[in-house]
Amino acid sequence: KAGVTQTPRYLIKTRGQQVTLSCSPISGHRSVSWYQQTPGQGLQFLFEYFSETQRNKGNFPGRFSGRQFSNSRSEMNVSTLELGDSALYLCASSPMGRGTYEQYFGPGTRLTVT
Amino acid sequence: AQRVTQPEKLLSVFKGAPVELKCNYSYSGSPELFWYVQYSRQRLQLLLRHISRESIKGFTADLNKGETSFHLKKPFAQEEDSAMYYCALTFNAGNMLTFGGGTRLMVKP
């Protein structure tokens, strides 16, 4: 099976702009989670979608949002970008919606905000 | 709130030496614990999980609820074990992983 894919891989935006990142899970996986990785804060959970519904949400401001489509593909959106949003954004998919299942990570999207 | 602590940012050992990567957690309930690994230029991937009680690539980890620890151990380190290791926790809430800060393991020849 093809692994989790994320597009684009690299992105440069300016403060105040908005950005949309895309994630295609492994075929058959219904859960998609998003994480932000920064040198200072490490890996932090953003949100999880399962069957087009947001199941869990991390402690991020409302500028961060996401959605999942009927084919399980997911997008996350960040509005009014700030310099501190520069990070590697990882997407992970899992067959089901519980933590006992392995999460498969994508390569990430590197977002730079200038 | 749950928290995962990996006290060592860097651990350097010689090939053939024993390795122990420490992980401590704080959570009042019964969490599920994992170790994820990221080799150079590769994706983050699951190494092992406590419920499986398995040994992967010679690594084992025992959940100690009394000490709230989930240390990762290997009796004889290999150079190919050099990587970034993350301890992670989830509770009965879906796939929401809480990660520790990570430990970089360097195995010297």
Query: What are the mean pLDDT values of chain B's consecutive 10-residue runs (109 residues total)?
Result: 93 97 89 93 92 85 90 97 96 81 97
Contact: A105, B45; criterion CB under 8 Å: yes
Å between A78 CA and nearest CA of chain B: 20
Contact: B96, A104; criterion CB under 8 Å: no
Q: B8 touching A, CB under 8 A?
A: no
As a whole number of angstroms, the distance between CA A63 and CA B87 comes to: 28
Please tell me the predicted confidence (pLDDT) of residue B92: 65
> Chain A contacts of B97, Cβ < 8 Å?
33, 35, 43, 45, 99, 103
As a whole number of angstroms, the distance between CA A57 and CA B33 comes to: 20
As a whole number of angstroms, the distance between CA A11 and CA A86 comes to: 10
Low-confidence ranges of chain A (pLDDT < 70): 97-100
Contact: A58, B90; criterion CB under 8 Å: no
Please tell me the predicted confidence (pLDDT) of residue B90: 87
From B9, B41, B21, B12, select the one nearest B108 (Cα to Cα).
B12
Q: Which residues numbered 16-45 in B keep a CB inside 8 Å of some CB on A?
A: 32, 43-45
Closest partner CB to B32 (pick from A42, A43, A100): A100
Q: Quickly count helices (H) and strands (E) in chain A.
A: 0, 11
